[in-house]
């Protein structure tokens, strides 16, 4: 990796960490479109660029979720009873998704799936409406089964699963603060399981392309992780000083543009 790309990934990591801390969003939504554009310039084959972008974005969650989980645990905000029930499902769903299904979906379909996820997330940011509150937590086996769904879907998106797990917990009368904190802990299990899956399912590329560990481009992973973890606390501090509601709408607009651009780039590669 040249100095130019090192600087680019450093700035990208810092921006992602700041946005995550400021707006409480996952970094994958920002990282994947940028990585999809940058990775082919570093020699990653264009036909697997979407796969590598999603896998690398997910791998960063392994480290960022640890930092977030530690902070939330210090405030006793994590529902560890929910984590213990969901974790087995998350791991199984993540291994199936990242270790098998992920490799069999072509880049164009993955880009479409990701774009739909971004549009859904952006619309939620525009509306900014809380999830409806239901009754109580479902039966333990249902929580574990739902964890499997979260782990599987997250593996196709490079996301930490908060878009599914937070509304699920809030509906079951878990406070928003504890739901977000618990989601941070769940993100670690999702990222570990899918990370292992991505390395396994993309193992053929490890010896064929410098910098690839399966589908994970590790040089970018290292730089992104370091700088996102450094900037996230600053973003969290600024969340109390800046108009977050307005910024969320601006950010949602940016996400929509990035998703469309990513689709166009992927269409050009797969239909040319």
Burial of residue 143 (CB within 10 Å: 0-12, 13-18, 19+) is buried
Question: Among 17-26, 199-208, 252-261, which range has the highest average pLDDT?
Answer: 199-208
pLDDT tens for 235-253 read 767 766 777 677 777 777 8
Among the residue ranges 112-116, 127-131, 159-163, the one predicted with the least confidence is 127-131
Q: What are phi and psi of 59, to 5 degrees?
A: -60, -30
Q: How confident is the model at residue 190 (pLDDT cuts 50, 70, 90)?
A: very high
Q: Are strands 216-217 and 212-213 parallel, antiparallel or unpaired?
A: antiparallel
Instruction: Examine the pLDDT at 86 and tell me if it is beyond 90.
Output: yes
Q: Do residues 77 and 69 make contact, with C-beta atoms less than 8 angstroms apart?
A: no
What's the confidence (pLDDT) of residue 97? Answer: 92
| % the chain with pLDDT above 90 | 34
Beta strands in 31-143 (DSSP E): none
pLDDT tens for 24-75 read 566 777 888 889 889 999 989 888 999 999 999 999 988 888 877 887 788 7
Site of tokens 């600087």 = 7
CA distances from 142 to 89, 111, 147, 158, 194 (A): 10, 30, 8, 24, 21
**What average pLDDT does this structure show over 225-241?**
78
How is residue 53 written in tokens?
């972008």
């Amino acid at each position: 990796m040249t100095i130019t790309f090192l600087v680019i990934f450093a700035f990208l990591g810092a921006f992602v960490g700041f946005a995550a801390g400021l707006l409480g969003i996952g970094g994958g939504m920002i990282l994947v479109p940028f990585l999809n554009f940058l990775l082919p310039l570093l020699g990653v084959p264009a036909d697997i660029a979407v796969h590598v972008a999603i896998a690398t974005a997910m791998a960063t969650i392994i480290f960022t979720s640890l930092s977030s989980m530690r902070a939330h645990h210090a405030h006793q905000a994590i529902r560890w009873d929910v984590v213990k029930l969901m974790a087995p499902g998350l791991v199984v769903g993540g291994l199936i998704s990242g270790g098998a299904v992920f490799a069999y979906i072509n880049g164009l379909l993955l880009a479409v799936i990701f774009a739909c996820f971004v549009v859904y997330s952006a619309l939620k940011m525009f509306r900014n409406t809380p999830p409806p509150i239901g009754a109580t937590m479902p039966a333990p086996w249902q929580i574990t089964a739902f964890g499997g769904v979260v782990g599987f879907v997250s593996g196709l998106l490079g996301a930490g699963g908060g878009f599914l797990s937070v509304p699920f917990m809030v509906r079951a009368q878990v406070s928003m603060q504890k739901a977000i904190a618990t989601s941070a802990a769940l993100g670690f299990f999702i990222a570990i399981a899918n990370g292992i899956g991505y390395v396994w399912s993309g193992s053929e590329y490890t010896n064929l392309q410098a910098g690839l560990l399966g589908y994970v481009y590790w040089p970018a992973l290292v730089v992104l992780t370091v700088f996102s973890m450094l900037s996230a606390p600053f973003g969290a501090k600024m969340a109390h000083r800046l108009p977050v509601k307005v910024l969320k709408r601006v950010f949602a607009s940016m996400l929509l543009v990035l998703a469309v651009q990513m689709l166009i780039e992927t269409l050009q590669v797969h239909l040319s």
